[in-house]
């Protein structure tokens, strides 16, 4: 490999889907781009492989691809994605919750059918579901468009103004009040029974929202009713189809994706990012931009070592918070899961095993205290129920995400596991997970023909962005979300080092396979207009715009 530096328009560090989207968009715009990935396979947390037995494909990290299918890049490049082999398998039975008494609440891709199913449990809950669906429709109009814009920006201000005008000020304020509440409060406001309340609270745990954390209502509202509206999808043949298609798009437009290329340093000159150095000493010069699909600490406490940044900014980097960890368990079965609540549950994409809101609250607090939860939440993804191509006939794939667990173990809430590190605790904790699964699906252990566990430390070893096994790339609590992600004053992807940009889960709109931050970074770079100028222009368009701009930019430095 030549010691002379290669020169391109943009270098992208990290091949998570946002980094790949940014590179693909720039390459399509005529930029010369290189993506550098430290691991041997691109894709970050969107990756699949044979984790248990040969011929069985597991999604190793994320599996639900609803957000990606609805994302701006997928909508813009759908034909390209299909041409490069990406197709989605769809489930119209997206999720259900099971309970200790052998019953289940089922959510299907139809509001009337779901309400009818819920009415068999409680007429009041069914009515509450319909009322909450109306609130979701208001949310789609008033606030959901924000997820396609940088914050703050002209587009965001205009979208809010339009949404408020359509929904009405009073209804918008009521909606905002609801969204600022916790998942427990959301469920109690609309549902009569504890079981129905657990339907919502469980979705909060997918993120970093225990039942009593303020601001937790947003994600459960979005996930519950988007699943009712459209079902759930996974990538046919495995999640790796997504990064593979993006890599193909980058390369067919003249870009390069290099794996096994660990960046050890971001090069700077007079306060400007000018390129990178790769392990082994090779340098690549970036004429226009360096885009990092990384956690903030990895950049400012590592790759930019020796580069002075303002002290207040460095304090913000040091204060970036990660959520609790995640434990993954991949299983291959020689038959469907024998759910106690009914054979039909084997068709559902997700089966949630909380089972109550109080159980979730206890699990969340135990994990924050460093304790292995005594009865953790199991999110059971029945992948082959959605995509049968993942395994031979008669073989079934289970993707189990265990939320939430401590990244660093201080003890065991059940006083059964002595190990205080994950290398020692993985085996016995796997047994705890299987014991809980067995309670709700008697006989499932006998059907296991292959298994592979991934502790929080395993997750971080495979992907340095998953600090402490935090699967969402940083807490999404309100203090670190929206305008405050990753830090107040730096929410528009530009960093204090000129021509250095941040994208990925640590930036708005945060975790999940939404592909939006990479898309917006590329849009910023190819437009040639700084976001602040665009936003200020929008603020001058009228009193409503000015008021909204004042609200959105009040924390900006």
At 494, which CATH number?
A: 3.50.50.60
Q: Are 256 and 348 part of one and the same domain? A: no
| Residue 461: domain span | 91-128+190-233+322-469
Cα–Cα distance for residue pair 203/472, rounded to 1 Å: 13
At 374, which CATH number?
A: 3.90.660
Q: Domain boundary residue among 426, 446, 469?
A: 469
Kind and range of the H or E element at 263? strand 263-269
Strand 500-502 and strand 104-107: the pairing is unpaired
Q: Are 400 and 379 in contact (CB under 8 A)?
A: yes
Q: Are 295 and 342 part of one and the same domain? A: no
Q: Are 308 and 366 part of one and the same domain? A: no
Kind and range of the H or E element at 9? strand 6-13
Q: Are 328 and 453 in contact (CB under 8 A)?
A: yes
Kind and range of the H or E element at 26? helix 17-28
Q: Are 78 and 244 in contact (CB under 8 A)?
A: no
Q: Are 212 and 327 part of one and the same domain? A: yes
Q: Are 222 and 344 part of one and the same domain? A: yes
Q: Are 326 and 460 part of one and the same domain? A: yes
Kindly state the tokens that stand for 262.
Answer: 């660990």
User: Per the domain annotation, does 362 fall within a domain?
Assistant: yes
Q: Are 288 and 367 part of one and the same domain? A: no
pLDDT in tens, 252-268: 999 999 999 999 999 99
User: Per the domain annotation, does 355 fall within a domain?
Assistant: yes
User: Per the domain annotation, does 441 fall within a domain?
Assistant: yes
Q: Where do runs of H (alpha helix) occur along 147-236? A: 154-167, 169-179, 183-190, 194-206, 218-230
User: Per the domain annotation, does 543 fall within a domain?
Assistant: no
Cα–Cα distance for residue pair 329/388, rounded to 1 Å: 19
| Angle at which helices 154-167 and 531-539 cross, to 10° | 40
Q: Are 118 and 14 part of one and the same domain? A: no
Q: Are 343 and 397 part of one and the same domain? A: yes
pLDDT in tens, 465-496: 999 999 999 999 999 999 999 999 999 999 99
pLDDT by residue, tens only, the chain of 557 residues: 333 469 999 999 999 999 999 999 999 999 999 999 999 999 999 999 999 999 999 999 999 999 999 999 999 999 999 999 999 999 999 999 999 999 999 999 999 999 999 999 999 999 999 999 999 999 999 999 999 999 999 999 999 999 999 999 999 999 999 999 999 999 999 999 999 999 999 999 999 999 999 999 999 999 999 999 999 999 999 999 999 999 999 999 999 999 999 999 999 999 999 999 999 999 999 999 999 999 999 999 999 977 889 999 999 999 999 999 999 999 999 999 999 999 999 999 999 999 999 999 999 999 999 999 999 999 999 999 999 999 999 999 999 999 999 999 999 999 999 999 999 999 999 999 999 999 999 999 999 999 999 999 999 999 999 999 999 999 999 999 999 999 999 999 999 999 999 999 999 999 999 999 999 999 999 987 554 444 433 333 333 333 333 333 333 33
Cα–Cα distance for residue pair 380/350, rounded to 1 Å: 5
Cα–Cα distance for residue pair 135/70, rounded to 1 Å: 20
Q: Domain boundary residue among 425, 447, 469?
A: 469
Opening angle at CA 99, ends 111 and 373, nearest 5? 115
Distance of CA 3 to the CA centre of its chain: 38
User: Per the domain annotation, does 407 fall within a domain?
Assistant: yes
The torsion defined by the Cα of 338, 340, 344 and 347, in degrees rounded to 10, comes to -50
Cα–Cα distance for residue pair 169/172, rounded to 1 Å: 5
Q: Are 273 and 422 part of one and the same domain? A: no
Q: Where do runs of H (alpha helix) occur along 236-391? A: 241-252, 296-298, 311-318, 357-368, 383-386
Q: Are 460 and 330 part of one and the same domain? A: yes
Q: How many CB atoms lie within 10 A of CB 192?
A: 17
User: Per the domain annotation, does 153 fall within a domain?
Assistant: no
User: Per the domain annotation, does 208 fall within a domain?
Assistant: yes
pTM above threshold 0.75: yes
Cα–Cα distance for residue pair 310/496, rounded to 1 Å: 8
Strand partners, 34: 11, 256
Q: Are 346 and 423 part of one and the same domain? A: yes
CA distances from 513 to 242, 243, 457 (A): 10, 11, 22
Q: Is the dihedral of CA 153, 155, 156, 158 positive or negative?
A: positive
Strand partners, 412: 372
Report residue 57: phi and psi, to 5°.
-105, 125
Strand partners, 501: 291, 494
Q: Are 349 and 91 in contact (CB under 8 A)?
A: yes
Q: Domain boundary residue among 453, 469, 485?
A: 469
User: Per the domain annotation, does 180 fall within a domain?
Assistant: no
Domain count for the chain, please give it. Answer: 2
Kindly state the tokens that stand for 341.
Answer: 């609540």
Report residue 296: phi and psi, to 5°.
-55, -40
Using DSSP's 3-state secondary structure scheme, residue 334 falls into: coil
Q: Which residues of 125-159 are buried (b: 16+ CB within 10 A; e: fewer)?
A: bbbbbeebbebbebbbbbbebbbbbbbbbbbbbbb
């Amino acid at each position: 490999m030549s010691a002379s530096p290669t020169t391109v328009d943009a270098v992208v560090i990290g091949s998570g889907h946002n980094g790949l989207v940014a590179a693909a968009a720039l390459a399509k715009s005529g930029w010369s781009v290189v993506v550098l990935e430290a691991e041997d396979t691109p894709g970050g947390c969107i990756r699949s492989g044979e984790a248990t037995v040969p011929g069985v494909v597991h999604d190793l990290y994320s599996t639900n691809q609803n957000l990606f299918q609805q994302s701006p890049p997928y909508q813009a490049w759908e034909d390209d994605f299909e041409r490069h082999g990406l197709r989605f398998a769809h489930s119209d039975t997206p999720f259900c919750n099971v309970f200790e008494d052998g019953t289940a609440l089922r959510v299907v891709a139809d509001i009337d059918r779901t309400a009818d199913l819920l009415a068999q449990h409680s007429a009041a809950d069914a009515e509450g579901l319909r009322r909450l669906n109306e609130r979701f429709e208001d949310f789609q109009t008033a606030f959901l468009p924000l997820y396609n814009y940088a914050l703050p920006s002209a587009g965001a201000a205009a979208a809010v103004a339009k949404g408020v005008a359509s929904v009405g000020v009073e209804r918008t304020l009521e909606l905002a009040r609801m969204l600022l509440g916790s998942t427990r409060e959301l469920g109690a406001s609309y549902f009569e029974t504890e079981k129905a309340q657990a339907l919502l609270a469980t979705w909060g745990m997918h993120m970093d929202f225990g039942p009593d954390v303020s601001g937790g209502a947003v994600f459960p509202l979005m996930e519950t009713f988007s699943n009712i509206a459209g079902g759930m999808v996974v990538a046919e043949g495995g999640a790796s189809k997504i990064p593979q298609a993006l890599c193909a798009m980058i390369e067919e437009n003249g870009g390069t994706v290099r794996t096994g290329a660990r960046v050890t340093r971001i090069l700077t000159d007079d306060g400007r990012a000018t390129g990178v150095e790769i392990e082994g000493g090779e340098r690549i010069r970036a004429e226009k931009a360096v885009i990092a699909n990384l956690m903030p600490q990895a950049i400012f406490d590592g790759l930019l070592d020796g580069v002075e940044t303002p002290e207040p900014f460095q304090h913000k980097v040091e204060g970036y918070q990660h959520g609790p960890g995640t434990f993954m368990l991949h299983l291959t079965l020689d038959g469907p899961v024998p759910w106690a609540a009914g054979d039909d549950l084997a068709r559902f994409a997700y089966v949630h095993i909380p089972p109550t809101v109080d159980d979730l609250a206890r699990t969340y607090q135990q994990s924050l205290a460093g304790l292995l939860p005594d009865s953790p939440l199991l999110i059971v993804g029945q992948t082959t129920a959605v995509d049968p191509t993942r395994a031979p006939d008669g073989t079934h794939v289970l993707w189990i995400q265990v939320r939430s667990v401590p990244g660093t173990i201080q003890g065991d809430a059940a006083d059964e596991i002595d190990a205080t590190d994950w290398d020692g605790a993985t085996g016995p904790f796997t047994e705890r997970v299987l014991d809980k699964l067995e309670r709700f699906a008697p006989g499932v252990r006998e059907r296991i023909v292959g298994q592979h566990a991934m502790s929080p430390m395993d997750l971080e070893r495979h992907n340095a962005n998953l600090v402490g096994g935090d699967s969402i790339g940083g807490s999404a609590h309100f203090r670190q979300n929206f305008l405050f992600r990753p830090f107040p004053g730096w929410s528009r992807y530009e960093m204090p080092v000129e021509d250095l940009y941040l994208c990925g889960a640590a930036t708005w709109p945060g975790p999940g396979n939404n592909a939006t931050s990479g898309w917006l970074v590329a849009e910023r770079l190819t437009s040639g207009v700084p976001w602040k100028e665009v936003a200020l222009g929008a603020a001058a368009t009228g009193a409503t715009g000015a008021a909204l701009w004042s609200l959105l930019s009040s924390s900006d430095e």
